[in-house]
Amino acid sequence: MAEEEARATRRCFACKRTFSAAPETVETVLIDPETGLPPGFTVLGTLRPAGPDAVARSADQPICPACLEKAARLWQTYNAPPPTWPSWPPPEN
């Protein structure tokens, strides 16, 4: 019973699906309700300094574990380690 009470149902900001999780494990992202983006982000995906009024009206929005996993996969795809080549002369063992 206590376990069920600890878990709360939330709506993912990214995919709009509902999910339940313990409140202390839910990842959140700060969203400005006026733009629907994190403060400081533009619709073009660029950054600008976030104004204090934008930060003040922003609120933490929950993100579901499936979207976090997708974001981690995308991050790994676009931030893959650089290719390496054998050096010359080959190391002597």
Interstrand relation of 27-31 and 59-63 (parallel, antiparallel or unpaired): antiparallel
Applying CB under 5 A, among 14, 21, 29, 37 the residue interacting with Zn ion is 14
Please report how close the Cβ of residue 64 comes to Zn ion at its closest, in angstroms.
3
Rg (CA), the chain: 20
CB of 17 to Zn ion, least distance (A): 6
Per CB under 5 A, which region of 5-13, 27-35, 45-53, 77-85 contacts Zn ion? Answer: 5-13
In 3D, which of 69, 60, 71, 50 has the Cα closest to residue 30? 60
| 12 in contact with Zn ion (CB under 5 A) | yes
